Amino acid sequence: GAVVSQHPSWVICKSGTSVKIECRSLDFQATTMFWYRQFPKQSLMLMATSNEGSKATYEQGVEKDKFLINHASLTLSTLTVTSAHPEDSSFYICSAPPVQAGGQGNEQFFGPGTRLTVL
């Protein structure tokens, strides 16, 4: 159980275009999902918290108008990189903690990641 999928697994796009990445929890519901970015040989940096039915919460320094997040259902969150540029090239990973009583300190499960290359 606790499987998270991402689509696409990799994408190459031209500078100035927008790219949408989907994150799905396959066998559990998640009121909250998280989006991370990882540059080569670095750690994962939290970008934003995706909240089902409400606005996303962005970490300091992350442009909310550039990285649009929509959490349309209890099993789907999407990240749209708008007007992508080469510096947005990175590995994007989502995670989700299964909904359970209390809601704090839940184990998180990660998707396989999406590798974005902007030419």
Partner 1 sequence: GIQVEQSPPDLILQEGANSTLRCNFSDSVNNLQWFHQNPWGQLINLFYIPSGTKQNGRLSATTVATERYSLLYISSSQTTDSGVYFCAVGYSSASKIIFGSGTRLSIRP
Which residues sit at the interface with partner 1, rule CB under 8 A? Answer: 32, 34, 36, 38, 42-46, 49, 91, 93, 95, 97, 103-110, 112-113, 115
Nearest to partner 1 of 69, 93 (CB atom) = 93
Shortest gap between Cβ of 90 and partner 1 (angstroms)? 11
Shortest distance (Å) from residue 48 CB to partner 1: 9
CA gyration radius, the chain: 14
User: For the chain, give me the number of helices (H) and strands (E)?
Assistant: 0, 11
Could you give the CA distance from residue 106 to residue 3 in angstroms, rounded to a whole number?
15
Nearer to partner 1, 26 or 46 (CB): 46
Helix, coil or strand: residue 88: helix
**Minimum distance of partner 1 from residue 16's CB (angstroms):** 26
- Indicate the residue among 5 and 82 with the shorter CB distance to partner 1: 5
Residue 34: CB minimum distance to partner 1, A: 6
In this structure, the number of other CB atoms found within 10 A of the CB of residue 11 comes to: 18
Cβ atoms of 81 and 88 within 8 Å: the answer is: yes
Q: Which of residues 82 and 106 has its CB atom nearest to partner 1 in the complex?
A: 106
> Residue 62 in contact with residue 48, Cβ under 8 Å?
yes
